[in-house]
Every structure is written in C-alpha cells, then in structure tokens.
Structure 1
Amino acid sequence: MAETREIESFLTLAGELHFGRTAERLRVSTAQVSQTIRKLERRVGAPLFTRTSRRVELTPVGRQLLADLGPAWAAVSSALARAVEAGRGVTGTLRVAFGDAAGGQLLAGVAELFRRRAPGCEVEFREVRPAEVLPWLREGEVDVVLAGLPLDGPGLVTGPVLVRERRFLAMAATHPFARRDTVPVAELERVTVLRCALPDPWLDEHAPTAVTRPRAGLQELLTLAGAGEGVLPVGAHLRRYYPRPDVAYVPLSDAPRLEWGLVWREGAATARVQAFAEAAAELVREPA
C-alpha cells in the first residue's frame, strides 16, 4: 500500500507538473520528490509521469490514478480536518469572498451571527472579481464565496439558496429600452449583451452571442453599459447599491429569479465552513 507521503507527492506533482514547484509546496528538495515518485512508480509497476528537460506530463496510467485517487484523497483530508476541528472547536480563520456591496453587507451579517457562536474563529473578508471566483476557490485562496447560482464545477459544493431576486437589465440611460417598464427576454436577441467570465447557463441559453469581458469587474461592466456598449443582466439589488446617472435599470419581464448562495471546495468542507453556511441559512430565515 502506498505511503501518505507518496500519495501527497503524486497529487501535488500531478497538479503542478513541475518538480521544483512541487518541492516548494511540500517543503522538501527536488531530489526527494523524484525519489518518492520513483518509489511509487515501482510500487505501481508503471511510469506515472513522462519527464523531459522541458516538461512533465502524466502518463495514461498516471491520469487514471489521478482520476481514481484525487476525490478519495480529498474526502480523507476533509474528514481528518473536520475531526481535528471537532476536537478543538471551531477555531482559526475563515476566508470569505464577495463580489459587490450587497454581498458584503449580507456576509457581514452572517459573520456577526457566526462569531457569536464561534468566538474562537476569525472571519476575513475578500472582495473578488468575477474572473477570480473559480481560481480562488480551486487554489484555496478563500474558503467560501457568495456567488450567483448555479456555480458548477469539479469539486465544488453549493450551500442552500440565500437570496432570490428579480433579474434586471442595466443599460445606458439613453438606450431605447430605458423608456420601457419591462423588457421581454426575447429582446436580448436584438441587442449586444455584456457578461462577465462566470458561468451562467440561463444567459448561455437566452443570449448565446453575449460578449464576455473576461477580466472586467462590476464597475467596469456598468461603465460599459452606461457608455452604450451593450446591456448587462444583473440582479435587482444593483439598483439600490449602484445608482448611476448614466445607467438605467429595467426588469426582465419573463425571466426566472436570480439565486445567490455560498460555494466552497469539496475538500474544504471544514467545521468552519459548515458552521458559517448554517449561520447564513439561519440569518436569511429570520424575519426582517
């Protein structure tokens, strides 16, 4: 049976595909990483990586081992982390990300309730741009993100829906749509639709030619809409938190509600994350 050090080295190298970076992450020498991988390959009976002077790649056997081993190892690591935290209580630091002012305000309320229940745990807030949401989750930059749902992806877990709101279009105040009371979804085919980099199945279906601005933040997208570069589908809360003289907000008349919830990595479902998600669900259930 493979040793823990061999499994950890294999999974880290499979992610980095670079012996030097793997050694840095594991805080060992490059030679130690090579020795550990060779030992595991002898145990398996086949090469797991192809190595040249320029690149490192997984072999077919290595790819299969990664597919089989990765989820199981994440589950084991998560179980151990939860056991440790259960023994210590909910302590440490929870890193929580939000994308706009409304999200930040909601999470601040959740954090207040969470801290009352877990005074030994700190909450660290981070503002995240749309293009950074998935990388930050996957790379462990943050533990939890408040995001529009669904936010699907390998190894991601979604908590309960916290907010449902009407969908609006943000557009230039001089846009023809700005004079309407509502805009039917079918009208999206007639105009340029702006979108951020995050997945949005509903938008993919109703505006398949939408122009994606991969690195744009919310204020940049609103500026583009205000300048007449296109219309921007948004949630109703932006009318209150981001009023601008150059931007009009008009509801989409036949669109489903936009949903928001907490998302975290499957392997990072620690006691802190679970307790924060429970506090969020309880907060939104409380009467206003």
Structure 2
Amino acid sequence: MAGVEIRELECFLALSEELHFGRAAERLYVSQGRVSQLLAALERRIGARLVERTSRRVRLTPLGERFVADLRPPYDALLASVERAGAEARGVGGVVRVGFVGTLNERLISRIDRFEKRYRDCEVEIVELPLADPFGAVRRGEVDAAIVLTPVAEPDMVIGSTFSIEPQTLVVSADHPFADRASVTAEELAQCRLIGTAEPAPRYWREAQAPTGTPEGRPIPRGPIVGTLQEGLTAAAANRGALLTCAPSAHYHRRGDTAIVPVTGLPDSALALIWHQDSETTRTRAFNATISTP
C-alpha cells in the first residue's frame, strides 16, 4: 500500500456510499471514466476486487465491505484534523505579545519569523521582561505568553515548549581569579560571590539561577542582588561578583572587561514558553506549536 493516493480512497468511499459510478463522479466533480481509473488503481494496489459492477447494479465485494469498515474511521479522523487545523489557522490573527527574559538568540528569532510567515495575519510583539519578575507580566495580562528560564513551578501557569537547553557559564571580571580558567566545577563556586536575582521572582527560581550551595552542600557566598540581566553583567564587569548564565546569553553579551568560563557539574539551563491557564488562546497554542520545532 506504499504510495497510495488519497484521491483513490476518496473515490472508493464515495462509490461505496452511492453504489453508482455516475453519482460518485458527480460528487467528486470528475468523469465516470476517472472514477473507474481510480478504483482500478486502488484494486491493483490491494491485489483484489473491491467492487463488483454489472449492467444492473454496483455492489461491494466482501473484502470491499471490510475495507470500508476499516477505512472510514481513520479517514474521517483525518478530515477532522484538517478542518481543525484550518479553523485554528483562520483564528490566528491580530497580535500575540511574547515576553522574554534574558536573550532571544538567532535560533529563537528564526522560529518567531517562521510563525509570522506561517500565520501572515498575526504579528508577534516582543517585550523584554525584568529578570527579577519573570511571571508578573503574564499574570497581569501584559503579554500573552513569555519565554522564561526554567524551572517553572507556578500552579497558574501552563508550561508549553521547552528549548534552548544549554550549558551553564560564569561571567566574571577580567580581573577575577577565574578569568583565565578553561572551566570551573560547581564545587568551586563556593570560592566566589554569585550575583543573585531580586524579588518578586519566587525563591525556588532565584535559587536555581544563583544557587546558595554547591551540589555537595558547600555554601556559595552571595554577591549583589540585581533586577535585570544588564545589571548583573555590569556588576560582574565591576568585579562585584560572578554571574551564572547560559552560554548563549553570556556570549551574546560578551564585553571586553569580562571573561566567560564554562561551569561543569550543574544542570543545563533551559527556556520554556509559558502562559496563564485562564488566558490560553488560539494564537498562543499556534505560537507554541511553531516554536517547538527546531
């Protein structure tokens, strides 16, 4: 059955209902000869007759009856899927406001561009969110969805696609003792002051972005508390502390007075698209589905 044509299946199903070549042809907007051709092609694929045709009547063979019974449910489901997709596409219009924390790298920008090309009646507005408040704009309805750093353990938020899984790095001043290191371990973070994130970001989220202890339980000194990524980078450049961030953000914001040092022994950083459970829209679902594809 490899390479079966959907038109052959449509023809057979129409004929199974009409039991008349002329009416099936009218229903499909083709000639009777075309109906015969499509039926013959399908029967060759299967290797047996599906329809018996005499001068007086048309009827299904026993195999044809079984084939109809097997074919109808998945065919109807396929049509329903197409209809739902079409309805959803028609409903994706207007503006979808998407917040982001940190940096939108080229890969994410390309996915947003793909969404706008797919849904030409819908425009994406990008809104930068403060590092210290990754969830507030979503709750207040200022954005439809947000791309935020994980983890997300907010009971009122829906977690969509997770992407940009990247290793962690440490941004330090060019004068920092770690500046010339090829890498540092998670345990060595106990030797530096980590720049932390201010409230209202929840405690578990702040702990994930700037842990207060190493995996083995050694305390990590706390450096300055900042509200934005730029504040954190500036504090690191001024040698007030070290900023833990994902590799793409660190390299995107590289500056001459800082160094970027890979960190081993920590979970990778990841981004997730989130939206409020009471504010899900067709646009949000379509945007999530589009950016989930690399």
Question: So what's the TM-score if we normalise by structure 2?
Answer: 0.61
Question: Could you say if the C-alpha distance between residues 144 and 255 of structure 1 is closer, same or farther in structure 2, counting changes exceeding 3 Å?
Answer: same
Question: Could you say if the C-alpha distance between residues 195 and 153 of structure 1 is closer, same or farther in structure 2, counting changes exceeding 3 Å?
Answer: same
Query: Is 1:220 matched up with 2:231?
Result: yes
Question: Could you say if the C-alpha distance between residues 208 and 142 of structure 1 is closer, same or farther in structure 2, counting changes exceeding 3 Å?
Answer: farther
For residues 52-78 of structure 1, what are the alpha-carbon distances to aligned partners after superposition, in whole Å with 9 as ceiling and x for unaligned?
A: xxxxxxxxxxxxxxxxxxxxxxxxxxx
Q: What residue identity is the alignment partner of 1:274?
A: R
2:280 is matched with 269
Task: Report the Cα offset of residue 211 of structure 1.
Answer: 4.1
1:160 is matched with 161
Query: Is 1:144 matched up with 2:141?
Result: no
Contact 2:192 2:221 in 1 (8 A): no
Query: Is 1:253 matched up with 2:264?
Result: yes
Task: Report the Cα offset of residue 209 of structure 1.
Answer: 5.2
1:90 is matched with 92
Q: CA separation in 2, counterparts of 1:263 and 1:194?
A: 25
SS in 2 for 1:234: strand
Contact 2:195 2:226 in 1 (8 A): no
Question: Could you say if the C-alpha distance between residues 175 and 87 of structure 1 is closer, same or farther in structure 2, counting changes exceeding 3 Å?
Answer: closer
Query: Is 1:187 matched up with 2:188?
Result: yes
Q: Percent same amino acid at aligned positions?
A: 30
2:243 is matched with 232
Give the RMSD, CA atoms, in angstroms: 2.4
Q: CA separation in 2, counterparts of 1:151 and 1:212?
A: 24
SS in 1 for 2:272: strand
For these two proteins, the number of residue pairs brought into alignment is 198
Task: Report the Cα offset of residue 200 of structure 1.
Answer: 4.0
Question: Could you say if the C-alpha distance between residues 230 and 87 of structure 1 is closer, same or farther in structure 2, counting changes exceeding 3 Å?
Answer: closer
Instruction: Give the helix-richer structure, 1 or 2.
Output: 1
1:170 is matched with 171
Q: What residue identity is the alignment partner of 1:266?
A: Q
SS in 1 for 2:283: helix
Question: So what's the TM-score if we normalise by structure 1?
Answer: 0.63
For residues 175-201 of structure 1, what are the alpha-carbon distances to aligned partners after superposition, in whole Å with 9 as ceiling and x for unaligned?
A: 111121111111222221102234144
Contact 1:110 1:276 in 2 (8 A): no
2:6 is matched with none
For residues 153-212 of structure 1, what are the alpha-carbon distances to aligned partners after superposition, in whole Å with 9 as ceiling and x for unaligned?
A: 130111122111110111111111112111111122222110223414432553665346
Contact 2:145 2:284 in 1 (8 A): yes
Task: Report the Cα offset of residue 88 of structure 1.
Answer: 5.5
Runs of 4+ in 1 over 4 A off after TM superposition: 85-88
Q: CA separation in 2, counterparts of 1:229 and 1:147?
A: 25
Contact 2:165 2:271 in 1 (8 A): yes
Greater gyration radius: 2
Task: Report the Cα offset of residue 128 of structure 1.
Answer: 1.5
SS in 1 for 2:278: helix
2:10 is matched with none
